[in-house]
Amino acid sequence: MRLDTEKLRAYYSDAPEDISLGDIDLDRIPAHVSIIMDGNGRWATARGLDRSRGHVAGVDSLREAVTTSVRLGLDALSVYAFSTENWRRPQHEVDLLMHLFATTLVKELPLFHQENVRLRFLGDIDALPERTRTVFQRGLDETADHDGMTFALAVNYGSRAEIARAARQIALEAAQGLIDPAGVDERAVSERLYTAGLPDPDLLIRTSGEMRLSNYLLWQLAYTEFYVTPTLWPDFDRWEFLRAVAAFQGRSRRFGGVVAS
């Protein structure tokens, strides 16, 4: 994606001591960054607040992450917002999250228009409450023609369910004689995942210090660089994002090969 360096510099003025835009190679920005947004509950609990306040605060971080991604010129930003396992949470927390997804999306549509961001969803959206589903569909319809960054929101997403779904589709198509079972390759699987058409993430960020994937993008993260920060999601800002990109640029990606010396 094309970089507007003037806008980017203005966005990244007032640098803290440890990091600045100058620490980043603007020619080597990752194309696709994915984030497991974790730690909302702990952020709230540490302040004596209800967990829901952490989710509300997390929305501000998400808005900033979208803007940061656009400024950095990413092709895609994907974020894990609700897993297939998160239905196990107390009903009032699930309700609050579903409500928050819907209201936030409506509120942020102008930002998507302004920044030419195309929205997509990863996960089984059909199983969501009707209002959330309706708003999501509206978001898809209204941003379908945008050709800037893709913003993928993973909601009711589980990687194992996603892979099982792809296998089921392949089996059905084979049974109908539409595809040859012997020809099923990695590409055939990739094309039937929720992420079809998106490049695999170059960088995965997880906030709140947890060193696990929690059923997120198991297939797509095969060669992704991981960056785990102890920062809780509501405290994650444009500078934290820059630290992650700087760490990414310090890595040697070998994809199983060797680095030419």
Residue of the chain from 11, 42, 59, 109 that contacts ligand IPE (CB under 6 A)? 42
The alpha-carbon radius of gyration of the chain (Å, integer) is 19
Interacting residue with ligand IPE among 32, 68, 78, 80 (CB under 6 A):
80
**Residue 210 touches ligand IPE, criterion: CB under 6 A:** yes
Give the one residue of 20, 67, 86, 169 binding ligand IPE; rule: CB under 6 A. 86
Q: What is the DSSP string of 105-171?
A: HHHHHHHHHHTTPEEEEES-GGGS-HHHHHHHHHHHHHHTT--S-EEEEEEEE-HHHHHHHHHHHHH
> Which one from 75, 86, 124, 200 is the annotated catalytic residue?
86
How far, in Å, CA of 161 to CA of 124, rounded? 9
Indicate whether 47 belongs to the interface with ligand IPE (CB under 6 A).
no
40 lies in the binding site for ligand IPE (CB under 6 A): yes
Residue 92 CB, nearest approach to ligand IPE (Å)? 13
Residue with smaller CB distance to Mg ion, 38 or 108: 38
Sign (positive/negative) of CA torsion 120, 138, 124, 187? negative
Q: How far is the CB of 63 from ligand IPE (least distance, A)?
A: 15
* Strand ordering across the sheet containing 32-36: 118-122, 150-157, 76-83, 32-36, 203-206, 225-228
Asked if residue 12 lies in contact with residue 242, where contact means CB atoms within 8 angstroms, the answer is yes
One residue of 39, 139, 158, 201 binding ligand IPE per CB under 6 A: 39
The item of Mg ion, ligand IPE, none sharing an interface with residue 138, based on CB under 5 to 8 Å by kind, is none
Residue (of 105, 140, 134) closest to 120 by Cα position: 140
What are the distances in angstroms from CA 72 to CA 5, 31, 38, 81?
A: 9, 10, 22, 22
- As measured in angstroms, the least distance from the Cβ of 255 to ligand IPE is 27
- Partner whose binding site includes residue 169, from ligand IPE, Mg ion, none (CB under 5 to 8 Å by kind): none
Separation between Cα atoms, residue 204 and residue 226, nearest integer Å: 5
E runs forming strands in the chain = 32-36, 76-83, 118-122, 150-157, 203-206, 225-228
Q: Is 83 in the site for ligand IPE (CB under 6 A)?
A: yes
Contacts from 224-228 at CB under 8 Å and sequence distance 24+? 224/34, 224/200, 225/251, 225/253, 227/203
Among 12, 32, 36, 38, binds Mg ion (CB under 5 A): 38
Residue 121 engages ligand IPE in binding (rule: CB under 6 A):
no
Report the nearest approach of ligand IPE to the CB of residue 210 (Å): 6
Q: In the complex, what is the shortest distance from the CB of residue 26 to ligand IPE, in angstroms, rounded to a whole number?
A: 29
Stretch that binds ligand IPE, among 11-19, 79-87, 114-122, 129-137 (CB under 6 A): 79-87
What is the contact surface with Mg ion in residues (CB under 5 A)? Answer: 38
Catalytic positions are 38, 86
What is the contact surface with ligand IPE in residues (CB under 6 A)? Answer: 36-42, 80-83, 86, 97, 208, 210, 212, 214, 233
